Amino acid sequence: MRTFDLSTGDDQYVKDLRVVRWEQYGLERDLPFQAMWYSVPPGSESPVDQHPELELSVVVAGTAYVVVGGREHVVPQGNAFLLSSAEAHVVQNRSADTELTVFSAYWMPITAEAGHG
């Protein structure tokens, strides 16, 4: 068993979001996905993001307001959201005093061609 500690992970910043990517743990050969935590300060939001990977996100602390295609989705702590590669999205933290923390696992979708190989 291995444990992973968000508070001691090597971080980088995207805008004012703290991002801790799991690449630092050397798991590429062991896991079929990549992963990260990110923290959004109170009153802030992520940049608009869209990528080829599918992304499954679990809200660890706070409440996420996820804007996709002009629609807003409220995702409270303990709940999750799944984003397809076609969905541009923004994750907002509308709290005045609570940091939003999200764990995301992401992977390339299985193509029909890969499924028959």
* Residue 112 pLDDT: 61
Supply 90's token pair: 């923004």
* Residue 110 pLDDT: 84
Report CA 35 to chain centroid distance, whole Å: 8
3-state SS assignment for residue 5: coil
Rounded distance, CA 27 to CA 25, Å? 6
Rounded distance, CA 86 to CA 58, Å? 20
* Residue 116 pLDDT: 53
**pTM for this entry:** 0.91
Q: Which residue has the higher pLDDT, 117 or 95?
A: 95
Rounded distance, CA 117 to CA 105, Å? 25
pLDDT at residue 53 greater than cutoff 70? yes
Rounded distance, CA 91 to CA 46, Å? 5
**pLDDT tens for residues 102-114?**
999 999 998 765 5
Rounded distance, CA 114 to CA 8, Å? 37
pLDDT cut 90: percent of the chain above it: 91
